[in-house]
Amino acid sequence: MCRVGAIKSKKYTHPAKVLYLMLPQQKGHDNSGFAMVMQDLGGVFAPYKDLPLLSYAGNTASVEKIHNYMQGKGFTLRFEWSPQTKPQSGLDIALLEHYNFEVYAYPPEYQNAERSVKENLLTNTRLALRAMTEENDAAFVYSFWPDVLTLKEIGNPADIGSYFNLWQEDTDFCAKIITVQCRQNTNYAIVRYAAHPFFLQGYTVLANGENTFYVKNKEFQKSLHRGYLGFESDSQCFLYTLHYLQHELKWPLEYYKHVITPLPFQDLAKREDKAVLLALRQSLPHLEINGPNTIIGVLPDGRVINVNDSKKLRPVVVGGDGETVAISSEVCGLNVILPDRDQEKDIYPNEREMLVIDNNLEVARWKQ
Amino acid sequence: METVTVNELTPNDLPWRIEWDPCLCKLCGSCVAACTFQAIRVSVEARSYVYSQGDVPTPLEGERYAVPVIKQTATVQQHCVGCGMCEKTCPNRAIRPRRNEDSRWEIFAREGGSPIKRGGRANLNAGDRTFDKIVVGRISQMTDPSLDAERHTFDILAPFGRVLPADKMPLSVKDGKLSLNKPLPPVRWIYPLIFGDMSIGALSPRAWEAVCLAAACLNEKYNLPVRMCSGEGGMPMRLLKSKYLKYMILQIASGHFGWNRIVKAMPEMQEDPAGILIKIGQGAKPGDGGLLMAAKVAPHIQAIRGVPKSDLLSPPNHQGLYSIEESVQKMFLSMNAAFKFRVPVGIKTSATASSVSIYNNLLRDPYHIVGGYFIDGLYGGTGAANEISLDHTGHPIVSKVRDCYLAAVAQGRQGQIPLWGAGGVGMTGNAAADAFKLICLGANGVSVGKILLQLMGCIGNDHSRCNSCNTGLCPTGITTQDIKLVRRLDVDKAAQNIVDYVRAFDQELRKLMAPIGNSSLPVGRSDALVATDKAVAEQLKIPYAC
């Protein structure tokens, strides 16, 4: 089973925190990988919040290929950073040659373009880079978006932490939102693209569970948006639905819950808004999810959400100390990173609610 | 000595032979009275014996005498169909029909130069079912938990009506909430099992009433919103004006039978019907219109349909219809308009190699008025048809539903026009298993007919037993208008059997949904299935397993 975690903090937080969050839960995962998305970046990336940051890993040839492509499209490299690696013998990690995080300036003709135009450019660029580096796994292009950094690798999370020197807290590499997951998927082949969290156009999602409506979701989503691809993991479907409802249809957030786990017909019939809820249920049955799942999402405005399957078949807990709120599959993770919090106030979300953590770290519980 | 008459029929030429045991028979005559086909009769036969006395055989003629016997009739018109009513009625079980493997029926049954006509179902290839080569093979084990069929809640409903894609719905955001700016096309969420299109005319009034009763009972007592399709032939005025109309799907076919009454009843209807189904064709006799033999056009049928007593043939085509575009514009628009766009309108065709083209055309539906595509496959039943149509035309349903679903997937339009499958669902007795597999392959629901007749007491099968629905002589009172025969049917018991079956069907669906971990119907969840036949796996695009 996966274990998932998320930290949202008022202060910049180093990834060491998420390693400490996940380590106590290692009996629940299988130590097969480490993947994180950092958003609202501080440290060395703080001066570049408005510029797109490309996160990828690959071999030397692919790095050159990517640089050439970016140059050809008019992007200018403004800042590049790679983690200070600490190779040691005996580490359980499937290494690639390069782990690059590169900040680019938009091509001149896009610099004053509207936001949606820029967003499309970034997505198209990432998809193009992915396509051109896919052969022989030359590189893995995870995200290309302002203020978002993605690092994924196969291996033991503790060893991955050691290799990338993530155990050592500093102020250079930090963010206010970090989402993390420590397991490679088992349903399909182990590929880095299959590791949560997944990111698309400002939306991040990770999940612990099994989406048994994966085929239904996938077959429907494939035709909705060019960015809905890969499907290396059944959990990508959660991201694409969130993105579709929010970014494409521009529906209020609460309807994410109504679409993925609609109310039973008999409950729905008692609601004042039954006409709308029934319309959504009948229009989007292929985005409904089944199976055990707890889903953590990050929205472009920095809010962090949690929703669960309709039978609440996976664990999750939310706790905070006023400065930091964390979501974790198991409470033992919270106890390590937030030992002084009031445990009485921990929240164990149920199957019919959505938790929304806003930028003031207030946790709202929306009842479906 | 008798003359050898080679060309005269004898019981051994017929599909069924009557075995009668004179030692057990008490000569009560019940079997003869029960046989609606007059395939047996009381007769008197001469008997004599020869005896010999003394040491050397010296044949002497004994007395001659006559004995009463039960004798099988050997004519085309009055042949035994194997219904077994004689055995059912015999107190001593002294008589029974036996299938005759030396039958020459196919050779001489066209006597008089007319094609063989019968009711029932296809009798060829019925044993080799695709359904039985598919297994629910993706079971929730350690990666995810199975659900509990007894304790968890399950949502088992299916749409009938035009479903709009999310980006076409008239929604706006007001105070952080979505609201509908105007009504959507009507969609009914109903049980994924429809009591299929059997007209009052094809069925006896009691049988039709029993199906109605079962539908009403399932809705009102067991909260299972099962709908029943009227078939082409209208319905009684009392029902049209009653609140139970909401459980009925009205069918309109090329003969428009019964619609005079329906239209006249409209001002007095208390409820809208559940839907309208335009019938283009049916699986049992594709390309052929409806047929009700004159023998069944009793006075009440004449009244309901507004016709004289004669063979009632619906044309194979809707008149004045030239293309599918016209059909959408004319038929769908007029039927939608009939109930002021409050009632969903679907269309039924026989399964055909061109079903995908039809579905593709329907999916374009620019007016948002196509509420469902009902595909009727090869093994559907019928009240009357030419045998050559029944046995040699049609298309299996399973791959056709799958093809249509995948055609919608390719366009991102799955779910917009609900797909319903029929034709052989429940043929081996377990409709839930067949329905579930069809749903995983992309159907929203299924329609059944034959199994309802069997639950009411029909003894026909897919191996030529009885199948005489066309004759008006149905021995079980189900497909006859002969009042004496109709009385054989216990309407309450017939309805109860259907109700019990559907309640069990519901439990059985849960028993299939629970192990794959689904609480909603797994429409299109083909990954839940595996095929034990490679060709089936390949055609349906599901995994092969052995």
As a whole number, the mean pLDDT across chain A is 95
Predicted pLDDT of residue A189 = 67
Q: Is it the case that residue A187 has pLDDT exceeding 70?
A: no
Buried b (16+ CB within 10 A) or exposed e, A317-335: bbbbbeebbbbbbbbbbbb
A214 touches chain B (CB under 8 A): yes
A284 touches chain B (CB under 8 A): yes
Paired strand residues for B45: B67
Asked if residue B35 belongs to a known ligand binding site, the reply is no
Q: What φ, ψ does residue B22 adopt, rounded to 5°?
A: -65, -25
Q: How many domains does chain A have?
A: 1
How far is CA B137 from each of CA B129, B437, B518, rounded to the nearest angstrom? 18, 11, 14
Predicted pLDDT of residue A2 = 80
Asked if residue B80 belongs to a known ligand binding site, the reply is yes
Residues forming CATH 3.30.70 domain(s) in chain B: 11-114
Predicted pLDDT of residue B127 = 75
Mean pLDDT of A5-18: 97
The answer to whether B40 and B32 are in contact (CB under 8 A) is yes
Q: Is it the case that residue A203 has pLDDT exceeding 90?
A: yes
pLDDT in tens, B99-119: 999 999 999 999 999 999 888
Report how many Cβ contacts below 8 Å link chain A to chain B. 111
The partner residue sitting opposite A290, judged by closest CB among B157, B414, B517, is B517
Say how far apart CA B395 and CA B350 lie, in whole Å: 8
% of chain A surpassing 70 pLDDT: 98
pLDDT in tens, A276-320: 999 999 999 999 999 999 999 999 999 999 999 999 999 999 999
The answer to whether A224 and A267 are in contact (CB under 8 A) is no
Predicted pLDDT of residue A188 = 64
Return the CATH number of the domain spanning residue range B11-114: 3.30.70
pLDDT in tens, A141-171: 999 999 999 999 999 999 999 999 999 999 9
Q: Is it the case that residue A184 has pLDDT exceeding 90?
A: no
3-state secondary structure B361-396: HHHHCCCCCCCCEEEECCCCCEEEEEHHHHHHCCCC
CATH code for position A304? 3.60.20.10
Residue among B302, B284, B327 at smallest CA distance from B196: B284
**DSSP 3-state of B407:** helix
Q: How many CA atoms lie within 13 A of B321 on its CB side?
A: 18
Mean pLDDT of A341-358: 97
- Name the helix (H) or strand (E) containing B299: helix B299-305
List chain B residues with CB under 8 Å of A276.
171, 177-180
- Chain A residue whose CA is closest to B165: A283
List chain A residues with CB under 8 Å of B522.
213, 216, 290
Chain B closest-CA separation from residue A265 CA (Å): 7
Predicted pLDDT of residue A29 = 67
Residues forming CATH 3.20.20.70 domain(s) in chain B: 132-163+191-540
With a CB cutoff of 8 Å and minimum separation 6, the contacts of B68 are: B27, B42, B43, B44
Chain A closest-CA separation from residue B179 CA (Å): 6
Mean pLDDT of A272-278: 96
Low-confidence ranges of chain B (pLDDT < 50): none
Cα–Cα–Cα angle for A216, A222, A223, nearest 5°?
110
Cα–Cα–Cα angle for A105, A106, A110, nearest 5°?
155
Predicted pLDDT of residue B452 = 97
CATH 3.20.20.70 is held by the domain B132-163+191-540: yes
A313 touches chain B (CB under 8 A): yes
pLDDT confidence bin for A185, thresholds 50/70/90: low
Predicted pLDDT of residue A163 = 95
List chain A residues with CB under 8 Å of B520.
262, 285, 288, 290
**Is A284 in Cβ contact with B147 (below 8 Å)?**
no
Predicted pLDDT of residue B166 = 97
A138 touches chain B (CB under 8 A): no
**Is A285 in Cβ contact with B166 (below 8 Å)?**
no
How far is CA A176 from each of CA A6, A13, A60, B443, rounded to the nearest angstrom? 10, 6, 31, 47
Strands (E) in B33-133, as ranges, are 40-51, 60-72, 95-99, 117-120
Chain A closest-CA separation from residue B433 CA (Å): 20
